[in-house]
């Protein structure tokens, strides 16, 4: 890649990792949007998974003291079930479907608690969270808003939410990388070099986001999460509709 493209990737990785460090999801949506502009959809999903694996892995490590391991184990069972189903039906993503589905996901964070009283702290809800969140991550590349509706209504504080979601995303992104391994073979050597250079900035962005998270209140965390994710979703939705048109 040209030097300007490399610098642009570094900046994008740092900013999106910072956002993910604060809100647990918005950064992944923006990064996927940028990658879909320059790569085939399957390759974009796989590369986004690689970068997010580093960002979420560092975030999970930094906040490991707050991870709810019981909830994580149950969600992993749901993720495994979703991955097996998609493997057997030989799922292949297409750009219009991916952008429209991602664009519609933010609707979920606005659903009143009385309508969907989901709570990841309950075993059957955690299982469903892993199945739906893991399935969406594999099919369209992101699942933040879907996972969020299971966490934003729990009794966990913002640190436990971010930590447990980060650990789940590590497993989910790893599964996604394996699922789309064939698509990464289309990447040029220069693109791999750029990704290797940008990777450390995912960790730096995560550290920066964690600093902001510690200074944020639970109320502000939930409010800003909804606003930012909704704005990103509208951009995805507009592009998806344009592709169909």
Query: For 21-64, how does the pLDDT look when each residue is reduced to its tens digit (9 = 90+)?
Result: 777 667 888 888 888 988 889 988 998 888 888 888 888 888 88
Q: What is the mean pLDDT of residues 84-95?
A: 93
Q: Residue 184's pLDDT is what?
A: 82
Query: For 157-215, how does the pLDDT look when each residue is reduced to its tens digit (9 = 90+)?
Result: 778 888 898 899 899 999 999 999 888 877 777 788 888 888 888 888 888 887 887 78
**Which own/partner contact pairs does 68-73 have at CB distance under 8 Å and 24+ positions apart?**
68/121, 68/156, 68/160, 68/163, 68/164, 71/120, 71/121, 71/126, 71/164, 72/164, 72/167, 72/168
Query: For 100-157, how does the pLDDT look when each residue is reduced to its tens digit (9 = 90+)?
Result: 998 888 887 777 767 777 888 889 999 999 999 999 999 998 887 788 778 877 777 7
Q: What's the whole-number average pLDDT of the chain?
A: 85
Q: Residue 176's pLDDT is what?
A: 92
* pTM given for the model: 0.83
Q: Residue 17's pLDDT is what?
A: 84
**What is the biggest distance separating any 2 CA atoms in the chain, rounded to whole angstroms?**
51
Q: Residue 1's pLDDT is what?
A: 54
Q: Residue 24's pLDDT is what?
A: 66
Determine what percent of the chain is predicted with pLDDT higher than 90. Answer: 27
Residue pair 233/142 in contact by the 8 Å Cβ criterion: no
**Rg, C-alpha atoms of the chain:** 17
> Residue ranges per domain, the chain?
3-244
Q: Rounded to whole angstroms, what are the CA distances from 185 to 15, 46, 78, 150? A: 27, 11, 29, 35
Q: Which two tokens stand for residue 130?
A: 């892993």
Q: Residue 116's pLDDT is what?
A: 73
Nearest CA to 77 out of 156, 132, 7, 143 is that of: 132
Q: Residue 81's pLDDT is what?
A: 96
Q: Residue 38's pLDDT is what?
A: 83
Angle at 40 between CA 34 and CA 44, to 5 degrees: 50
Q: Residue 180's pLDDT is what?
A: 93
Q: Residue 232's pLDDT is what?
A: 86
**Spatial separation of the C-alpha atoms in residues 198 and 178, rounded to whole Å:** 21
**Spatial separation of the C-alpha atoms in residues 122 and 144, rounded to whole Å:** 19
Q: Residue 25's pLDDT is what?
A: 66
């Amino acid at each position: 890649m040209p030097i300007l493209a490399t610098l642009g990737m570094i900046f994008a990785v740092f900013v999106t990792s910072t956002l993910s460090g604060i809100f647990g999801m918005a950064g992944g949506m923006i990064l996927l949007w940028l990658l879909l502009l320059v790569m085939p959809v399957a390759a974009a999903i796989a590369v986004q998974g690689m970068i997010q694996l580093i960002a979420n892995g560092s975030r999970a490590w930094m906040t490991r003291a707050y991870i709810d391991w019981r909830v994580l184990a149950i969600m992993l069972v749901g993720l495994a079930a979703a991955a097996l189903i998609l493997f057997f039906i030989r799922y292949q993503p297409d750009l219009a479907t991916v952008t429209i589905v991602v664009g519609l996901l933010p609707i979920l964070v606005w659903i009143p608690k009385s309508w969907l009283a989901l709570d990841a702290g309950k075993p059957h809800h955690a299982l469903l969270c892993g199945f739906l969140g893991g399935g969406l991550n594999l099919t369209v590349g992101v699942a933040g808003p879907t996972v969020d509706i299971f966490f934003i209504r729990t009794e966990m504080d913002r640190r436990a939410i971010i930590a447990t979601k980060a650990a789940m995303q590590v497993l989910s992104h790893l599964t996604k990388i394996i699922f789309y391994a064939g698509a990464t073979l289309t990447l040029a050597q220069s693109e791999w070099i750029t990704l290797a250079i940008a990777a450390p900035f995912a960790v730096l962005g995560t550290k920066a986001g964690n600093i902001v998270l510690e200074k944020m209140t639970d109320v502000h965390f939930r409010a800003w999460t909804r606003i930012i994710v909704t704005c990103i979703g509208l951009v995805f939705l507009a592009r998806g509709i344009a592709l169909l048109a």
